[in-house]
Structure 1
Amino acid sequence: MSKSNITDELNRPLRDLRISVIDRCNFRCQYCMPAEIFGPDFAFLPKNELLSYEEIERLAKIFVSLGVEKIRLTGGEPLLRKELPTLVAKLAKIEGLSDIGLTTNGVLLPKYAKDLKEAGLQRVNISLDSLKDELFGEINGRNVGVKPVIKGIKAAQEAGLGVKINMVVKKGLNDEEIIPMAKFCKDNELQLRFIEYMDVGSTNGWRMDDVVTKKEIYDMLKEHYLLEPVDPDYFGEVAKRYRYEGTNVDVGFITSVSESFCSSCTRSRLSANGQLYTCLFNGEGHDIKTFIRSGVTDEDISGFVSGIWHKRNDRYSDERTDETRAKRKKLEMSYIGG
Structure 2
Amino acid sequence: MVITKGVTALLVSFFVALGGGRVLIPWLLKLKIGQTVRTEGPKRHLKKSGTPTMGGIIFLLSLVVTVVVFQAFDAKTLLLLITTLLFGLLGFLDDYLKVVLRRPLGLRAREKLLGQVIFSLVLTFGAVAFLGRGTDWYIPFSRLLLGEPRYLELGNVFFFAATIFIMVGFANAVNLTDGVDGLCSSVTLIVMSFFAMTSLALKEKGLFIFALALMGGLVGFLVYNRHPAKVFMGDTGSLALGAAVAGFAVLTQTELFLLLVGLIYVVETLSVIIQVIVYQLTGKRVFKMSPLHHHFELSGWSENKIVLVFSLVTLIMVLISGYGL
Question: What TM-score does the superposition give when structure 2 sets the normalisation length?
Answer: 0.28
Question: What TM-score does the superposition give when structure 1 sets the normalisation length?
Answer: 0.27
Q: Specify which structure has the higher proportion of helix.
A: 2
